[in-house]
């Protein structure tokens, strides 16, 4: 049975200001994970967890304690084109610390008025009130039915919320749903190796995904909860609507993910900047660690420069895994490829069904632009494909040559 994947090419207005670049990390960024969970036909709960690592802690006078001050605010719209705010709310809280701040996650939730039967766009802003900075996020809320993935909440056995769907074999999880009343669910297991993204000027089209699971099993609600131990690496699609094959997909990766497992994986990650022969020689090397070290030393020309290039490249790989992973690791995707080679875009324009990344001055004709179209499939909302063009060839070769010569095309 084949399952077609469709691109939506509509170009409405951005869901948020282009200046609020979600992919460009800064020292003031508050690392936050957010998810939407539908609890009634009219209310959706917005859970969040944020790291206090970049918060500014201060005290009003020498006799008082140090404290961090955070505000989380959301603005709800019907879609990316709408300027009418349907609902908004915020929460402010304080974290008391000693002079030696303990790094931890701060957790909370807000309630948004979302009626069943439609989609929404939600802008979320996380403010460091002491530093007077904000970090923007945007999530799409799908409340078209009781079968969407946001009708299910993943938790560990201790009740803590799982904010992404990236798990490892052996993980024991609990899935609950206030909205979905089904008791028995079919789980389709897929064990696939996907090819990495092709160059941005390639004319080869993406292969359609053949929906043919490697195995299938059933899970049943007990006392209103689904319990599942992740058996092995791959991805698991819990069918919540059989006709459309929509549901909740869980991805099982190596325990080191989103980091890099070993020297072999380090070599695979540099495929974008190697020749065919270089890549074959590295993979066949008897001592892969020595081979990858020598690769970066030749590019950098010195130990210090080689270490800096290596650090930048693999930190981009890890960040791409955090940002763009779905059924395949983020670095292997179209957005991951561009992110690893070019770095985060100077400007990012986010639309309902596509993204445009700009490198350089947005208003200058010589700026570099990449447009990614959202792919509609039952497994994820985080799948985008690049609009490839022969026009990308010149700047791609410049960027790759930069890595080979020990400098970055755009050191951003």
Q: What is the pLDDT of residue 247?
A: 85
**Beta-sheet strands, E only, within 242-345:** 246-253
Residue 2 in this model has a pLDDT that exceeds 90: no
DSSP assignment of 33-72 equals EEEEEE-SSSEEEEEEEEE-TT---B-SSTTSPEEEEEEE
333-371 pLDDT, tens digit per residue, is 999 999 999 999 988 887 778 899 999 887 787 889 999
317 or 211: which leads in pLDDT: 317
pLDDT band at 313 (very low <50, low <70, confident <90, very high): very high
pLDDT at 410 over 80: no
- Tell whether the model's pLDDT for residue 387 goes beyond 70: yes
Average pLDDT value for residue range 238-250: 85
| Over residues 37-43, mean pLDDT | 96
pLDDT at 117: 92
Give the pLDDT confidence score for residue 184 in this predicted structure.
Answer: 93
Q: Which of 4-13, 119-128, 129-138, 145-154 has the lowest mean pLDDT?
A: 4-13
φ and ψ at 331, to 5 degrees? -65, -20
Q: How far apart are CA 253 and CA 256, in angstroms?
A: 8
C-beta of residue 371 within 8 angstroms of C-beta of residue 359 = no
Cis omega (within 30 of 0) for bond into 258: yes
Cα gap 125→116, rounded to integer Å: 24
Nearest to 157 by CA among 171, 174, 169: 174
Cα separation, 317 vs 340, in Å, equals: 6
As a whole number of Å, the end-to-end CA separation of the chain is 44
Report which secondary-structure segment, H or E, holds 94. Answer: strand 87-97
Task: Note the pLDDT of residue 366.
Answer: 82
Residue-level pLDDT at 8: 42
What domains can be seen in the chain, in order of their start residue? 31-144 (2.60.40.10), 263-404 (no CATH)
In this prediction, residue 15 carries a pLDDT of 43
- What average pLDDT is seen over the chain? 88
What was the pLDDT predicted at 152? 95
Q: What is the pLDDT of residues 49-98, one digit of tens each?
A: 999 998 999 988 777 789 999 999 999 998 766 678 999 999 999 999 98
Q: Which residue matches tokens 């020598």?
A: 294
Region 230-234: mean pLDDT is 88
Query: Residue 42: pLDDT band by 50, 70, 90 thresholds?
Result: very high
pLDDT given for residue 111 in this prediction: 97
Average of per-residue pLDDT across 257-274: 94
pLDDT in tens, 272-292: 999 999 999 999 999 999 999
pLDDT band at 21 (very low <50, low <70, confident <90, very high): low
Burial annotation 54-64 (CB, 10 A radius, 16+ → b, else e): bbbbeeeeeee
Q: What is the pLDDT of residue 81?
A: 67
Phi-psi region of 292 (alpha: psi -120 to 50; beta: other; left: phi over 0): alpha
pLDDT at 35 over 80: yes
């Amino acid at each position: 049975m084949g399952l077609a994947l469709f691109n939506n090419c509509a170009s409405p207005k951005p869901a948020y200001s282009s200046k609020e670049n979600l992919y460009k990390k800064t020292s003031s960024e508050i690392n936050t994970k957010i998810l939407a969970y539908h609890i009634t036909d009219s209310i959706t709960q917005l859970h969040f967890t944020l790291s206090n690592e970049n918060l500014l802690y201060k005290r009003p006078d020498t006799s008082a304690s140090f404290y961090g001050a955070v505000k989380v605010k959301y603005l709800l719209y019907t879609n990316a084109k709408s300027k009418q705010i349907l609902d908004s709310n915020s929460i402010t809280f304080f974290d008391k610390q000693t002079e030696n701040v303990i790094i931890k996650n701060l957790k909370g939730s807000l309630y948004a008025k979302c009626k069943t039967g439609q989609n929404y766009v939600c802008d979320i802003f996380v403010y460091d009130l002491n530093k007077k900075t904000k970090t923007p996020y945007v999530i799409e809320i799908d409340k078209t039915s009781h079968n969407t993935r946001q009708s299910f909440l993943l938790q560990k056995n201790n009740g803590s919320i799982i904010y992404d769907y990236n798990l490892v074999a052996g993980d024991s999880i609990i899935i609950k749903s206030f909205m979905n009343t089904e008791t028995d669910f079919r789980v389709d297991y897929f064990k696939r190796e996907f090819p990495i993204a092709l160059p941005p000027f390639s004319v080869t089209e993406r292969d359609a995904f053949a929906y043919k699971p490697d195995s299938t099993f059933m899970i049943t609600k007990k006392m209103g909860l689904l319990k599942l131990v992740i058996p092995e690496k791959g991805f698991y699609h819990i069918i919540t609507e059989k006709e459309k094959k929509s549901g909740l997909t869980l991805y099982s990766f190596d325990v080191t993910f989103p980091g890099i497992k070993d020297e072999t994986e380090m070599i695979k990650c540099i495929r974008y900047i190697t020749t065919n022969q270089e890549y074959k020689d590295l993979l066949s090397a008897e001592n892969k660690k020595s081979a990858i070290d020598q690769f970066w030393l030749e590019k950098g020309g010195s130990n210090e420069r080689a270490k800096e290039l290596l650090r930048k490249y693999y930190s981009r790989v890890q960040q791409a895994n955090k940002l763009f992973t779905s059924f395949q690791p983020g670095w292997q995707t179209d957005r991951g490829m561009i992110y690893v080679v070019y770095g985060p875009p100077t400007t990012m324009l986010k639309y309902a069904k596509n993204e445009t990344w700009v490198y350089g001055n947005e208003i200058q004709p010589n700026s570099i632009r990449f447009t990614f179209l959202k792919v509609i499939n039952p497994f994820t909302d985080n799948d985008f494909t690049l609009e490839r063009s022969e026009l990308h060839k010149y700047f791609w070769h410049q960027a790759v040559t930069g890595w080979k010569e020990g400098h970055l095309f755009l050191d951003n």
